[in-house]
Amino acid sequence: MADKELRAVYAETLIALAAQDACVCVVEADLARATGTGPFAKAYPDRFFNVGVAEANLVGVASGLSAVGKKPFAATFGCFASRRAFDQFFLSANYAGLKVTLVGTDPGVTAAYNGGTHMPLEDLALMRVIPGLVVVEPCDEVSLEAAVRLAYAHPGCVYLRLQRKAAPRRYVPGESFEFGMAKILRGNLPGTRNAKSGDDVDVALLALGALEVGEALKAADLLAAEDISTTVADMFTLAPLDADLVRGFAGRAKGIVTCENHRLSGGLGSAVAEVLAGMGQHAPLATIGVSADSFGEVGTQDWLAEHFGLTAPNIAEAAKKLVAGRRIAEGRIAEGRIAEGRIAEGRIAEGRIAEGRIAEGR
């Protein structure tokens, strides 16, 4: 069976929730066809609100609906949800302590031919600094349905980053999820031993979203061919981050690589670096994402991913450099200890010679 478009899963889940709760409603900014919420409008026309091309008003209306007890899901392209409506979402929804789920579609390079003006490469950075906001990016239809249901049950605001098109299924239906908890898709949890080698994992690949979870899994295959063991984690939520998982790998892996369809500054790589900064010694970190100096461009998703260095070979190369660097460092430490041992042996020998000379003098 072909994978469903994620926007269809989003709409179907909202319809199911609306059948159970009359407070569930949808707010759109003239993009219902793009978001896929037309079926919701048909099923519940009195709970569907189109505010037109006015994204700030989209969030204002959603906040007003929340203030009178409704549970709104407001959606627009991620560039508009973050850059254009940021102040309204920050103040009218979050600061006011209301319950609004804001959905930003076409994240990162999935905007493709819509180009740089419509390519949200900084939305995670903006949303991550809002106090208490949950920032979630599912990687497939199962995790998306779970994210929508979790957002419905969550008492506060949520930013849901949504790829509209289909994505390969990574989870079995009914898989359980929690905000703030990553899921291991391949390999071992921190602290568990590799059954084949008996060692802790060489590299942890921490990925966010459909595109980069898929590329991280491909990279794991490339690394396995070179006898480098990996764990691939779907981080699921950027905020709250699964800091315990990060700390676990930081203490045991030879390296950590973060993989995100976002600008390098302010997103997953930055969040993981902040966790590592609070530790003493830790595994080295490499970050895969769009250069902080780059704007979005027009192109196919595949071309853009390669152009910005988001693909499996990029991830694998970063991982190999970390492992090579760690092995060189470990070799130097071992050489240093051998040298220290030889110096110590020499000093002991010198001491014995000196003792001999003192005895001869006596």
Measured between alpha carbons, how far is 203 from 209 in angstroms, rounded to an integer? 19
Q: What angle is formed at CA 201 by the lines to CA 197 and CA 202, rounded to 5 degrees?
A: 100
> Cα separations (Å) of 211 from 20, 126, 216, 273?
32, 20, 9, 22
Give the SS3 label for residue 327: helix
Burial class from Cβ neighbours inside 10 Å (0-12, 13-18, 19+) for residue 166 reads middle
Do the Cβ atoms of 82 and 127 come closer than 8 Å? yes
| DSSP code per residue over 8-55 | HHHHHHHHHHHHH-TTEEEEESS-HHHHT-HHHHHH-GGGEEE--S-H
Backbone dihedral region of 56: left (phi > 0), alpha (psi from -120 to 50 degrees) or beta?
alpha
Distant-in-sequence, close-in-space partners of 166: CB < 8 Å, separation ≥ 6: 2, 3, 4, 5, 6
> Cα separations (Å) of 338 from 150, 184, 342, 346, 350?
55, 39, 6, 12, 18
Which residues are known to be catalytic?
A: 55
Give the SS3 label for residue 113: helix
